[in-house]
Amino acid sequence: MAWDYKREVEAIQRHLGDLSFQEQRILITGGAGFLGSWMCDVLVSKGAEVVCIDNLASGLRSNVAHLLESKKFRFIEHDISEPISFSEKLDLVVHMASRASPFEFEHYPIEILKANTLGLMNSLEIARHNDARILYTSTSETYGNPQVVPTPESYFGNVNALGPRGCYDEAKRCGEAYVTAYKNQYGLDTRTARIFNTYGPRMRFDGIYGRAIPRFVDQALHNQTITVFGDGSQTRSFTYLTDQIEGLLRLAALDRAKGCVVNIGNDKETTILELARKVLELTGSHSEIAYYPLPKDDPLRRRPVITRARELLGWEPKVPLEEGLSRTIEWYMAANLGKPKEREGSRAEDRSQKG
Ligand code: UDP
């Protein structure tokens, strides 16, 4: 059964209305990743010329394979932590390159730090030399385990630099400081998005990459135990990818968002146990739920204040969790079911005990 990615692209196009990227040349680092590849799809469909850089550390060539024939798309396999120069003039740089799964924090902490410091600095320099705009995709993890929930952009965070999430959280915080420095010292046109948990088709479920949603879907469809960490009362606010990409592109495109830092996420909070039950219901699975220790420093609540995104970007999340989950399950069944699974290093026992 083929899975039609165009439905997502068309939904985003529709919601972007007449925001135009026509004739712009745009560099996307991490463009073969989950969100990066959707960004490439939408921008090519909006008439931009896209240069995608990815070292395929966690991104997949298959995420952008369908774009390779387009004259509007170019793929460069390169680690953005190493400098690279361009002869063509760029209009916008989107720095998305970074591993983002908590399982990866343990295995690749230095890579993660480099992608958000050296890699980001290379992107900032490219933007500066091209007099281009830059969008940095930061994260809700800059708030750590927040003591203020719902969390507004003005909250400074509660982060353990030495803990298992320190490499990611501090890398992204340092990234935000870099962006601010380039804005202040060089007058660069910068925008920073704090992305809250986003999910959907193309999100990896294999090996060490799986986040809660793809893992639960994968487990449910294989009638394996659903691995809930802690008692499942910790919360996240899940954003479907079409909403996320729309928010990011509004932030990138709107002149009035220059220099701004904006939370982009759904403000509907869900416990992880509710999530596990919803996945069971939607897949019709008979899997049991089993409980494992909560990893160290796992944030207990995560929910954004999205007033700024609403007012500044005219954006709000549109896709309810059930609908986004159903679409993710459809994709999973069409694209992945029956493929061999590489699970080493991703077992719940490994992660929770080491955490
Ligand atoms: N989680 C879980 N079981 C899993 C994977 C994740 O209970 O197999 C929990 C995890 O402890 C966290 C939440 O689900 O509280 C979201 O985890 P995810 O890895 O998706 O990303 P995070 O928001 O922690 O960065």
pLDDT value of position 338: 59
pLDDT value of position 108: 96
CA of 198 to the centre of ligand 1 (A): 12
Cβ atoms of residues 310 and 243 within 8 Å? no
Q: Residue 145 above 60 pLDDT?
A: yes
Q: Rounded to the nearest 10 degrees, what angle do helices 34-45 and 6-16 cross at?
A: 60
Q: Residue 287 above 90 pLDDT?
A: yes
Q: Which residue has the tokens 């295995």?
A: 107
pLDDT value of position 1: 53
pLDDT value of position 210: 85
**pLDDT of 3-25, one tens digit each?**
889 999 999 999 999 999 999 99
Q: Residue 323 above 80 pLDDT?
A: yes
Cβ atoms of residues 245 and 39 within 8 Å? yes
Helix, strand, coil: what percent of the chain each, to 5? 40, 15, 40
pLDDT value of position 353: 38
Please state, rounded to an integer, the average pLDDT across all residues of the chain: 94
Considering 108, 136, 143, 168, which one is annotated as catalytic?
168
**pLDDT of 159-171, one tens digit each?**
999 999 999 999 9
d(C-alpha 124, C-alpha 127), whole Å: 5
The verdict on the CB of residue 348 being under 6 Å from ligand 1 is yes
Q: Residue 209 above 90 pLDDT?
A: no
Cβ atoms of residues 213 and 280 within 8 Å? no
**pLDDT of 214-238, one tens digit each?**
999 999 999 999 999 999 999 999 9
pLDDT value of position 141: 98
The residue to mutate among 209, 229, 238, 274, having the most atoms of ligand 1 within 8 angstroms of its beta carbon, is 229
pLDDT value of position 354: 32
pLDDT value of position 352: 45
pLDDT value of position 336: 74
pLDDT value of position 44: 98
- C-alpha 201: how far from chain center: 12
Q: Give 91: exposed, middle or buried? Use CB within 10 Å, 0-12, 13-18, 19+.
A: middle
Q: Any idea how long the chain is?
A: 355
pLDDT value of position 207: 78
pLDDT value of position 350: 44
pLDDT value of position 206: 85
User: Distance of CA 289 to CAs 185, 216, 219, 328, 352, Å?
Assistant: 52, 10, 10, 20, 16
Average pLDDT of span 242-249: 98
CA of 255 to the centre of ligand 1 (A): 36
Q: Residue 340 above 70 pLDDT?
A: no
Average pLDDT of span 174-179: 98
pTM for the model stands at: 0.95
Using pLDDT thresholds of 50, 70 and 90, give the confidence band for residue 339. Answer: low
Q: Rounded to the nearest 10 degrees, what angle do helices 6-16 and 241-253 cross at?
A: 40
Q: Residue 355 above 50 pLDDT?
A: no
Domains of the chain plus CATH, in order, are 6-354 (3.40.50.720)
How large a percentage of the chain has pLDDT more than 90?
90
* DSSP code of residue 91: S
Q: Give 10: exposed, middle or buried? Use CB within 10 Å, 0-12, 13-18, 19+.
A: middle
CA of 68 to the centre of ligand 1 (A): 34
Residue nearest to atom 5 of ligand 1 (CA): 212
Q: Given the CA of residue 165, which atom of ligand 1 is nearest to it?
A: 25
**pLDDT of 44-100, one tens digit each?**
999 999 999 999 999 999 999 999 999 999 999 999 999 999 889 999 999 999 999
CA of 124 to the centre of ligand 1 (A): 31
pLDDT value of position 288: 98
Q: Residue 344 above 60 pLDDT?
A: no
Residue nearest to atom 23 of ligand 1 (CA): 197
